[in-house]
Amino acid sequence: MISGFSSNSELVQSLIRDGYIKSQTVARAFLEVDRADFVWPGNEKLAYVDEPLVLGDTGQTISAPSMIAIMLEALELKRYEHVLEIGTGSGYSAALISRIVSPGSVVTVELSYRLYLFARKNLERYSNVIPVLGDGSKGFPPYSREELYDKAVIMAAAQKIPDELLSQVKNDGFVLAPVGGRGYQDLIKKWKNGREESYGACIFVPLRSL
Ligand code: SAH
């Protein structure tokens, strides 16, 4: 039997206790965004379980809250930042990022049309999230140099961090991504100057490309 919590705040308290959530900013975002609003219809009872959950029959999953907490802490987000996310899924992680960077914004790219529509509906209340339908395996080029992203994150497993994506962040910016094949990946933060830092093992569905 899967043991879950009966409310979002109980789930968040456990993520704090277990050390996944470390900062006030990430804790506040997790308390503001109810995971039940992002699970696939019929899965509401499982919303407060710290596990990935399938998104209907799309073959994709909403990530485990603890995994998203690790990603959000590694992103070191601040207010006013402009962030690119590849792999919208349910929209849950985009919503969390948006609460921290507000009044900054999040551009989030999803390859699956059905998930794009699902996430767009879930994200209606989040006016600083811009959902995009498309292949984000090479990022999503900003329209001008002024619009380069502060940070970018891939919410799926990449073979390597794409150079195109690195070129879309500001000079002091970085890309955070699970790097590796199927199974386990290494969570890597890579700066534009080539420096890399590892945040340990993680498990994500593969990044696909057209
Ligand atoms: N963080 C999300 C879950 C991400 S799962 C959440 O909170 O729900 C990874 C997602 O990446 C899936 O929805 C998958 O369809 C998407 N994806 C895979 N390859 C992609 C690509 N090339 N471009 C954009 N999205 C992609």
The pTM for the full model equals 0.97
What integer pLDDT is reported at residue 134 of this predicted model? 97
Q: Give the model confidence (pLDDT) of 178-190 as tens digits.
A: 999 888 999 999 9
Q: What is the mean pLDDT of residues 103-115?
A: 98
Centroid of ligand 1 to alpha carbon of 75 (angstroms) = 18
For residues 199 and 187, the answer to whether their CB atoms sit within 8 Å is: yes
List the structure tokens of 105. Answer: 């914004």
Question: Could you tell me the distance, in angstroms and rounded to a whole number, from the CA of residue 60 to the centre of ligand 1?
Answer: 7
Task: Name the pLDDT band for 2 (thresholds 50, 70, 90).
Answer: low
51 by Cβ neighbours in 10 Å (0-12 / 13-18 / 19+) ranks as: middle
Which of the residues are catalytic?
63
**Model confidence band, residue 107 (pLDDT cutoffs 50, 70, 90):** very high
pLDDT at 170: 96
Mean pLDDT of the chain: 96
Please give the average per-residue pLDDT across 89-97, as a whole number: 98
Q: What is the pLDDT of residues 116-172, one digit of tens each?
A: 999 999 999 999 999 999 999 999 999 887 799 999 999 999 999 999 999 999 999
Give the integer Cα–Cα distance in Å for 188 and 178: 6
State mean pLDDT over 49-62. Answer: 96
**3-class DSSP assignment, residue 199:** strand
Ligand 1 pocket test target in 33, 40, 117, 155 with most atoms within 8 Å of CB? 155
Decide if pLDDT at 1 tops 60.
no
Binned at pLDDT 50, 70 and 90, residue 4 comes out as confident
Plot region of 127 (φ>0 → left; ψ -120 to 50 → alpha; else → beta): alpha
- Tell me which of 68, 207, 209, 210 to substitute to probe ligand 1's pocket, judged by most ligand atoms within 8 Å of the beta carbon: 207
Ligand 1, residues at Cβ distance < 6 Å? 60-63, 86-87, 89-90, 92-93, 109-112, 115, 135-137, 155-156, 205, 207-209
In this model, does residue 10 exceed pLDDT 70? yes
- Our separate counts of H helices and E strands in the chain read 6, 9
On whether the CB atoms of residues 62 and 89 are closer than 8 A, the answer is yes
User: Which runs of consecutive H residues, i.e. helices, occur in the chain?
Assistant: 8-17, 24-32, 65-75, 92-101, 113-122, 163-166
Percent of the chain scoring above 70 in pLDDT? 99
Please tell me the distance between residue 107's alpha carbon and the centre of ligand 1 in angstroms.
13
pLDDT of residue 85 exceeding 60, the answer is yes
